[in-house]
Structure 1
Amino acid sequence: MKKRLLALVLICTMAFSLSACGKKEDKAETKTEKTDKTSKKKVADIEYDVDEFVKLGEYKNLEITLDGEYEYSDEGFDEYVSKTISEAAIYVEDKDANEIAEDSIVNVDYVGSKDGVAFDGGSAEDQLIDVGNNSSATGGGYIEGFTAGLVGHKVGEEVAYEVKFPDDYGNADLAGQTVIFTFQVNYIAKAIDSKKALTDEIVSDKFGYDTVDAYMDSLKEKYTASLENNLKSDKQTAVLNAVLNNSKVSKVPEELLQARVDMYLSVYDKQYQSYGTTAKEYFESMGQDYDAYVESMKTSIQESTETELILEAIAKAEKIEIDEAGYKEFIQGVLSSSGATDETSFYEVYDVDGYTGERYFRQAYLTQKALDFCIDNANYTGAPAEAE
């Protein structure tokens, strides 16, 4: 069985500010109208007995094997440092290099001109160029031939040559035109890809730490935290999959599944409404099949809701209940990560017929508690002794 995520994750990974949506309440709405809405939802509340749909298998004392990296080692830390530095894409002047090669990274100022006059957007200073890939050293390509004339020239030289813009270039004034780009070669650069290449000056300039040692101390803290996060994540994934493999859902209550689908589509549409369009209109404008997307999304929701039902059944079997203090901390974390401030307005974003937003998040908290119970009661091989 493939890995599944809780339903909460499916909704909350959508990238938009829920606080903005929550503030769009119609101020002209009367108290009576609000009461009617509340009454309607109360009458239509979805009810089901989870035991009718879930057959639980083993979920306690599971034997779990973990094979990740969870304990600090000098070798692992060195690899982490090298990866972090490499991903930072730091370049400094290579004082031993003087001539531009085909694979050089070179720092230049350049000016683009047409008929002897510099054109808008064609000039820049202190640019790191990847000559071999005809691109910026930090990503983003140039028009064909932009860097072709630099090879063989030396630091300090001024280099000028013709470059032709493509016929379909976005700027009509330049499309298909041949222009002159003039480059001032400032220096040839080299990548900083190891701790040995760092200096206090580089660390201060690029990372904001006074010394290399101070920067290493910060990376050691981050590396240690990443190991702890890896262990927590791998435990959750392994235990969840074991629980799902051992249990079976005969079917998802139709009303519950429809509520989940309605909730997802409603939240998704609110994201695009904030930009003056709808999800369907956006997909169609991008030449994509919205209906096909919805069908695919329904499959994911079906799976996540099955996961939720299994965990709900465990919570029921173990008499796990929502503790209000714990839930308060949970929902405050959700509010903070979404940018929302008002709890009531936040819930309303997720309200659908038969299932309120508040009920949804309380259920999400309960199912997470059930999963935590399974994690705490599993037996682990491959985890640090103190973490078991």
Structure 2
Amino acid sequence: MKKLRFGAALLVCAIMLTALASCGKPYNYDLSEYITLANYKGVEIAAAEIDSQVQSQLDSLLEQKATTEDITDRPAALGDIVNIDYSGTVDSVAFEGGTAAGQDVTLGAGGYIDGFEDGIVGMMIGEEKKVPCAFPEDYHNTELAGKVAEFTITLNSIKYKNLPELNDAFIVSLENGYDTLDSYKTYLRKAIKENNVWTKIVSETAVIKYPEKEVKASYNQMVTYYKSLAAQYNATLDEYIMNYQGSDTNTFLSYVTSYAKEAVKSEMCLNAIARAENITVSDSDYQTKGAELAKQNGMEDLKAYEKSMGRENIENSILNILVREWCAAQAVETAAEG
């Protein structure tokens, strides 16, 4: 019934693992046999896109800190958080996953199939309504893909979301080390620019072949990560994939394989650029950026972080940072045409 979102979760996992910068795998062989590296000097990126992503990040923070108030004197509107009961049928027959009670839905968030949330807009508390919706052709449940369903929806309550004001005081309240809105925007813009430049370099790099050893190691890391998530829910990996990712194990693991390859591709790009530009981790880099990484990971100091992660892994993580910063510094921000 809900849209699948595990692709994004897997991508986050892949990025997280890549950020460990090979986790001790040196890629100490000729990478030109494996990739044709894209242009990485003077990469062009749209300034407006960066600014848009900065605003999206800020909007997301405001959403996280929003408060709600009960609404009783008007119909449901886009942006409201509504509580509903619903039951769905296809050709007058109920289907698995098509019925729920006491479900909170943010109208306009796009968490449900097209037409479902729009059908709730305008309803009053206590009202029951039949809403037709079409499952997308590529819906994960092939038995429902492309079919038209009818949902009987009862609106139980409406809440309105109040967003805090975006200002210096709000940034201070986040306790993230920044005390002004401008300084936090500067940090966000730098991080987003680096990510956009790196994403473009990796996407435009052609893979000749993948190193099997590294792909297998990356795949195993991701599987281990999801097994640990499953354990938090007292579930097996199969149960976690079915109940929390809305997929079957084979399909999910095929995505893991794809993202493992993407992580390895990124690692190969990183190592190839570091060699070509003689980017290395100096002792000063290690002390400064290592301390920053230790703080970000909740460690008392670099020494404690080193004991947990090992010096080689920390150096690899710092190399990852240095290469991305170097590429972003060479990038050219372009303005929109016209």
Q: TM-score range by the shorter chain?
A: 0.5 to 0.7
Do the aligned partners of residues 217 and 322 (structure 1) sit closer, same or farther apart at CA in structure 2, a change above 3 Å counting? Answer: closer
Q: Name the structure 2 match of 1:54.
A: 35
Letter in 2 for 1:60: K
Aligned 8 A contact 1:314 1:370 in 2: yes
Distance 1:331 1:267, change over 3 A: farther
Task: Give 1:295 deviation, angstroms.
Answer: 1.1
SS at match of 2:219: helix
Kindly state the Cα deviation for residue 318 of structure 1 after the two structures are TM-superposed. Answer: 0.6
> 1:59-98 to 2 correspondence within 5 Å?
59-68=40-49, 70=51, 84=62, 88-89=66-67, 91=69
Query: Residues 30-75 of structure 1: CA distance to partner in whole angstroms, max 9, x if unpaired?
Result: xxxxxxxxxxxx9x9975332432333422233433214759xxxx
Does the Cα contact within 8 Å between 2:13 and 2:222 map onto a contact in 1? no
1:325–1:263 CA distance, 2 compared to 1 (3 A): farther
Matched, 1:218 2:169: yes
Indicate whether 1:343 and 2:294 are aligned. Answer: no
Q: Per-residue displacement from partner, 1:310-365 (whole Å, max 9, x unpaired)?
A: 12100000111122443455455555545566536743xxxxxxxxx765553343
Distance 1:11 1:245, change over 3 A: closer
Percent identity, please: 19
Q: Which residue of 2 aligns with 1:34?
A: none
Alignment equivalent of 2:218, drawn from 260, 267, 270 = 260
Paired with 1:269 and 1:345, the residues of 2 have a C-alpha distance of 24
Helix, strand or coil: the match of 2:333? Answer: strand
Query: Is 1:316 matched with 2:282?
Result: no
Could you tell me which of 228, 231, 238 is aligned with 1:280?
238
Output aligned runs, 1:97-246, within 5 Å. 105-106=71-72, 132=75, 140-141=83-84, 148=126, 217-219=168-170, 223-225=181-183, 227-246=185-204
- What's 1:114 paired with? none
Q: Separation in 1 of the partners of 2:46 and 2:243?
A: 47
Say whether the 8 Å CA contact 2:223–2:256 is kept in structure 1: no
Q: Is the 8 A contact 1:261 1:301 kept in 2?
A: yes
Tell me, yes or no, if the aligned pair for 1:46 and 1:255 is still in contact at 8 Å.
Answer: no
Matched residue type, 2:249: Y
- Determine which of 242, 256, 259 is the counterpart of 1:297: 256
Measured at CA, do residues 316 and 5 of structure 1 come closer, stay the same or move farther in structure 2, by a change above 3 Å? farther
Q: CA contact under 8 A between 1:284 and 1:290: conserved in structure 2? A: yes
SS of alignment partner, residue 67 of structure 1: helix
Q: Distance in 2 between matches of 1:45 and 1:379?
A: 30
Code of the aligned partner of 1:248: A
Shift, 1:300, TM fit = 1.1
2:169 is aligned with what amino acid? S
Whole-angstrom CA distance in 2 between matches of 1:366 and 1:6: 20
Cα pair 1:7 1:364 within 8 Å, conserved: no
Structure 1, unaligned runs of 5 or more:
14-41, 92-103, 107-129, 150-188, 194-206, 348-356, 384-388
Structure 2: segments with no counterpart, 5+ residues: 1-7, 86-100, 103-123, 128-158, 172-178
Change (3 A) 1:230 1:285: closer
Residue 326 of structure 2: which of 345, 353, 373 is its match?
A: 373
Q: 1:364 to 1:8 in 2, by over 3 A?
A: farther
Describe the superposition over 1:270-322 as per-residue Cα deviations: whole angstroms up to 9, x where unpaired: 33335544323433566741222111111012112112211210000011112
CA contact (8 A) 1:8 1:364 kept: no
Cα distance in 1 between the residues matched to 2:41 and 2:162: 49
Kindly provide the amino acid, as one letter, of the partner of residue 250 in structure 2: D
Please state whether the residue corresponding to 2:45 is helix, strand or coil.
Answer: strand
RMSD: 4.9
Return the letter of the residue paired with 1:303: E
Q: Report if the CA contact (8 A) 1:5-1:307 is conserved.
A: no
Q: Does 1:9 align with 2:1?
A: no
Q: CA deviation at 1:227?
A: 3.5
CA contact (8 A) 1:69 1:227 kept: no
Between the two proteins, the alignment pairs up a number of residues equal to 240
Asked if structure 2 preserves the Cα contact closer than 8 Å seen for 1:272 and 1:279, the reply is yes
Asked if the contact 2:66/2:161 (under 8 Å) is kept, the reply is no
Cα distance in 2 between the residues matched to 1:56 and 1:308: 12
C-alpha deviation, 1:265, in angstroms: 1.5
